[in-house]
């Protein structure tokens, strides 16, 4: 009985952790911005992104150059 509970908890945790792997990702460049609208050009196919879906945008961070 104890091994069945442990196995089911393991499968549940594995399922919860694997859900994050199904999100679409792409590298895009902003081509134009008008008010609250951004026009993006992406490297790969955009068929995973549907109209009206929300996206998370992360900016590329540049390393600080410190002087003497």
Chunked into runs of 10 residues, the chain (68 residues) has average pLDDT values of: 87 68 71 89 80 80 76
pLDDT of residue 41: 86
pLDDT, position 24: 64
Which residues touch 42 (CB under 8 Å, ≥6 apart)? 26, 27, 28, 29
Question: Please, are residues 39 and 63 in contact by the beta-carbon 8 Å criterion?
Answer: no
What pLDDT does residue 23 have?
59
Position 27 scores a pLDDT of: 81
C-alpha distances in angstroms, 19 versus 13, 28, 39?
Answer: 10, 23, 29
Q: Report domain extents, the chain.
A: 2-42
The answer to whether the predicted template modeling score (pTM) of the entire model surpasses 0.85 is no
What does the pLDDT read at residue 20?
A: 52
């Amino acid at each position: 009985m104890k091994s069945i509970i442990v196995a089911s908890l393991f499968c549940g945790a594995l399922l919860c952790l694997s859900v994050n792997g199904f999100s679409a990702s792409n590298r895009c460049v902003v081509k134009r911005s008008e008010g609250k609208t951004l026009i993006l050009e992406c490297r790969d196919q955009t068929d995973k992104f549907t109209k009206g879906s929300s996206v998370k945008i992360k900016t590329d961070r540049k390393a600080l150059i410190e002087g003497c």
